[in-house]
Structure 1
Amino acid sequence: MDEHALELVRGGDHPVGVLDPPGKRNERAHLPDQRQRHQRAQGGGNHHGLGEQPGDCPLRTDQSHHPSIPRGPPVHLSAWRAGPRQCYSPAVDFVAGTFAEPQRPEGVIEDRCPADLSVLLGRHGWALSQVDRAVDAARAAQPSWAARPGGERAALVRRIGEVLKGRAEELARAIALDVGKPLWESRAEVQACVAKAAITVEDGLRLVAPFPAPGQPDAECRFRPLGVVAVLGPFNFPVHLPNGHVLPALACGNTVVFKPSEIAPHAAELYARCLAESGVPPGAFNLVQGPGPVGAALAAHPGVDGVLFTGSWAVGQAIQRASLGQTKLLALEMGGKNAALVLRDADLDKAVYDALFSAFVSAGQRCTAASRLIVEGPPARADAVAARIAAAAERLSIGHPLREGVFMGPLASEPGLEKFLAGSRAAPETMLEPRALSPGGLRGWYVTPGVHRVRARTGSAYEREELFGPDLAVYDSSSEEEAVAIANSTDYGLAASVHTASREAFERCLSTLDCGVVNWNAPTVGASGRLPFGGLKRSGNHRPAGLYSALYCAAPVAILQGEPRLDRAKLAPGVGWVDE
């Protein structure tokens, strides 16, 4: 399967069994002072239920108008609630080949399932001192790892892919419970991780293979590893996106320190266990858990030679500021305010479905999610399209990520939910209002989709900023040129799609859209792992990932080869030479 796009996966019915913990309940006898405790939701308060609200979206299973959205008969919630309330032992770090919690924690993260706050996934300690330990371990291991033959490193990457495949269901369930992503999506994420191993070895490493200068036999280019790289992962693809950095980094001879999102510690730990099972040498890959200060310390650490980051523009800026005066490489994948263009000749059924999928898959928590739909034609045409999308959005199945037939799970955190609802309330005209809900009585961070109509551009924060939730604004445009201008009117430039029957029209849009990904008659969330993936403007720093990830994991070295003995006939003018 192509990397980055799970995107085009339209999973069918998936069986759901009892939620069984991978190990016995592990109670911790002593924890640091609760005043030091960092809640799972980046300092959020107590996890309280949002309560049933009038008009909450029901758990729909009749998806007859959208047959490729996962659907199935209702499943009683007892099918997964039968498990114990504590599902995991505390998440731990992996440093120098050993799994363990910090000996002297500076704080504790309490990790609750965003789909059901009554499920405690675990509590685990964190400490800034672990950053030094992990970087020291990576630096100690790097020379010997880089000295291994490239074929040996590539073989390890292939083994990692095999282990990930063998533990795919376990990983998918960990992702679903950590961040609330439906199981069909979580499975697709793991499939993308498996595919990345083959893509790295078969295609990515070709980009950093030695090559001679054309027509110059005494000149060649080779590549060397950076050294120690820090991988700072996001919560929305807690395994796939970090994996997209880790595998090429290891294959190129680097060692890695991975700091995952504190929202997804258990999926990250399970990923680390897969690498350990694959035979990664001690210190070549390290995992350090913790909140934002841990990531900040890792990014600024003088022993780190490169920072590979996926997250928001604000955090990306902070990493850049912290790196001033240092020579480390930065590869930053940041946000998007992505637009789907529907030209006059587009197939409206296809355009409406692709917009629906692009805006609301992953509950809108993708950097490539469509947040704007620009319809060419009179305002009445955009009105009709917006009404169709709103009606379809009301029929989406929302519920627990392990429940069969669910299209949308919850948002991943309480702060994310609050920010989304506040941002959506600023929309100028509401056709479908997003609301917090409690499907089946579940206490979690659930929300219904929002659809809004924008008739006049004002440059408001709603029109410019990423909401990172299930929200779609529908615009009308009088021409193709105006549609492109609206699409380009934000500070982001990650993804866009163009729906048109005309290749000429698509090519015109392609040449003027300020985006790193432009799809034709496809969702904005579609991409290929065998192509580069990255954005312009605030969406990136011109170091695309995907296939090109190997290029920021290795540094080119230019080599000129001269004659081994002095040729006196070639002395520079004015040089007097005296033999010994």
Structure 2
Amino acid sequence: MTRETPQVTGGTGAAAGTGPAKAFAYAPAPESRAIVDIAPSYGLFVDGEFRDASDGKVFKTVSPASEEVLSEVAQASAEDVDTAVRAARAAHAEWAALPGAERAKYLFRIARIVQERARELAVLETLDNGKPIRETRDADLPLIAAHFFYYAGWADKLPHAGFGPDPRPLGVAAQVIPWNFPLLMLAWKIAPALATGNTVVLKPAETTPLSALFFADICRQAGLPRGVVNIVTGAGPTGAALVAHPDVDKVAFTGSTAVGKEIARTVAGTRKRLTLELGGKGANIVFDDAPIDQAVEGIVNGIYFNGGQVCCAGSRLLVQESVQDELLDALKRRLATLRIGDPLDKNTDVGAINSAEQLARITELTRAGEAEGAERWSPACELPSTGYWFAPTVFTNVTQAHRIAREEIFGPVLSVLTFRTPDEAVAKANNTPYGLSAGVWTEKGSRILKMAQQLRAGVIWSNTFNKFDPTSPFGGYQESGFGREGGRHGLEAYLDV
């Protein structure tokens, strides 16, 4: 794979110059950066106002697509974390005492402001994260608003949620979120916490802090009382200080399994409640009676959406032997039409990898796949010369012993395995320490239901993949964590029941 001058080839990120691709060339359609005003520096958001870090330390956040420095951000120390937790504790009694209908008003305001500023937030998220604007605009932002609307509706109905007649908030919630869906993961955590009467101290990922800081401004715009939401930015030590703080009542974490295990060790033996949403190695299972074209679209959405940087990505394709060749031919044709390049271009399908560190991990694991004998294929494509990029990749001749079939790659890399019988498909799908997601493709409803009973995964999609709704719980088993976010189930993690 070579790095060349930035280019999105005509109608495709690959196969440039071929007949159909050349006939359907796409003109560039860039979204304007002028819609978002990024300040040269940002402080911590504590007790309703922005402030510098106590020791004056800062770090830079860069755009993965161009390596351009976007802004300078305060790096919270343990002292800053303590200040934020104390602010959340001071605000808790008054916030929890509000009638649910009053808390709901604030959540409704936040949801409406998110909708009003959706274009601005989508551009910001694309710049800071590297994902295509089509994804932030059409997937992330609508879901973010929907989560705040949904939990606003629950705020005055908690006694009827099935958790007892008088459920109480836990207190101060410490929330640590990842870089792959920065603003969406914020919504998943803050919305139910506020609806149930908790106050929040949130730490965004160090590579994607900007949307959380913009959300702080939304909280002020909505008139949210001081101290109810506090945002501390920084790297691993900041998150560790927040998780370990003795006055935190609830810890919610989304991220890697390794860090999740460390957090579990930190809170073990304390009174803190904990939910973890960790890694995955989802299986996308295609039977011989599945509609091939529909399945191909689901496979592409399952592993190349957000560049494969999705915890529930369908990174393992299990295809029935009798249709393997037909499916792979169709899949390769489809991948040859993907457009790779500028994430702000509305035509782009696959954007940048979030960081140099993540790109190095993807590269290392794909090299291991080749070294272990798997056959690697990518569509011919030109990658930009600056930024962090990786071409969509498919591995065939993969066995269950290969690292690429066992370890979470967190990139646009698909491992293809085959099966002959449903029992073999279940055995291979469950042969993983993870248990977050799976997909089943077949025309037989009875087969889907039987597979769903046998697969050890928290979320199982039927003839689709990567579909989310605020009313539906999400979470995993085994090394994919525990607890659920979304739906009525997402309330329980923030209630003393």
TM-score, normalised with respect to structure 1 = 0.79
Q: Do 1:73 and 1:404's aligned partners in 2 also have CA atoms closer than 8 Å?
A: no
Partner in structure 1 of residue 377 of structure 2: 432
SS at match of 2:481: coil
TM-fit CA distance, 1:438 = 3.5
Partner of 1:159: 109
Q: Does 2:441 align with 1:499?
A: yes
Residues 1:173 and 2:116 are matched in the alignment: no
Residue 149 of structure 1 corresponds to which residue in structure 2? 99
Number of residue pairs matched? 484
Give the match's secondary structure for 1:447: coil
Output the CA distance in 2 between the equivalents of 1:144 and 1:76.
Answer: 48
Contact 2:101/2:156, CA 8 A, preserved across alignment? no
Pairing 1:93–2:44 present: yes
Report 1:419-568 matches (<5 A).
419-427=361-369, 428-433=373-378, 438-439=383-384, 441=385, 443-458=386-401, 460-523=402-465, 525-556=466-497
Instruction: Give the CA deviation at 1:87.
Output: 4.8
**1:122, CA displacement in angstroms?**
1.1
- List runs of 5+ in structure 2 lacking aligned partners: none
Is residue 100–residue 156 contact of structure 2 (8 Å, CA) maintained in 1?
A: no
Query: What code does the residue aligned with 1:509 have?
Result: M
Q: 2:86 matched to 1:120?
A: no
Distance change >3 Å, CA 350–CA 435, structure 1 → 2: closer
Question: Matched residues in 1 for 2:162 and 2:440: separation?
Answer: 40
Q: Aligned pair in 2 of structure 1 residues 125, 62: CA closer, same or farther (>3 Å)? A: closer
User: What residue in structure 2 maps to residue 279 of structure 1?
Assistant: 223
| Bigger helix fraction | 2
Given the superposition, is the C-alpha separation of residues 160 and 76 from structure 1 closer, same or farther in structure 2, using an over 3 Å criterion? closer
Tell me, yes or no, if the aligned pair for 2:393 and 2:414 is still in contact at 8 Å: yes
Query: Highest CA radius of gyration, 1 or 2?
Result: 1
Match 2:179 to one of 208, 225, 235: 235
Q: 1:176 to 1:536 in 2, by over 3 A?
A: same
Distance in 2, matches of 1:96 and 1:159, equals 19
Taking the aligned partners of 2:71 and 2:219, their CA distance within structure 1 comes to 22
How far is 1:329 from its partner?
A: 0.5
Contact 1:96–1:138 (Cα < 8 Å) also in 2:
yes
Match of 2:276 in 1: 332
Cα 1:124–1:261 shift into 2, 3 Å = same
Do 1:72 and 1:405's aligned partners in 2 also have CA atoms closer than 8 Å? no
Q: Shift of residue 528 of structure 1?
A: 2.3
Deviations 1:138-169 (A, max 9, x none): 11111111111111111111111111111111
Change (3 A) 1:301 1:59: farther
TM-score (norm 2): 0.91
1:489-541 superposed Cα distances (whole Å, 9 cap, x missing partner): 11111111111010111111111000111111112x11322111111111121
Q: Which residue of 1 aligns with 2:359?
A: 417
AA matched with 2:377 = L
SS of aligned partner of 1:158: helix
- Residues 258 and 542 (structure 1), Cα distance of their counterparts in 2 relative to 1, 3 Å cut: closer
The residue identity in structure 2 corresponding to 1:193 is I
Can you list the C-alpha shifts for 1:166-188, whole angstroms capped at 9, x where unaligned?
11111111100000111111112
Aligned AA (1:510): A
1:367 Cα shift?
1.1
Percent identity over the alignment? 35
Q: Secondary structure at the match of 1:239?
A: helix
Cα separation, 2, equivalents of 1:430 and 1:342: 20
1:72-91 alignment runs, 5 A limit:
73-75=26-28, 87-91=38-42
Is the contact made by 1:209 and 1:222 (CA closer than 8 Å) also made in structure 2?
yes
2:182 is paired with a residue whose SS is: coil
Q: Distance in 2 between matches of 1:498 and 1:97?
A: 47
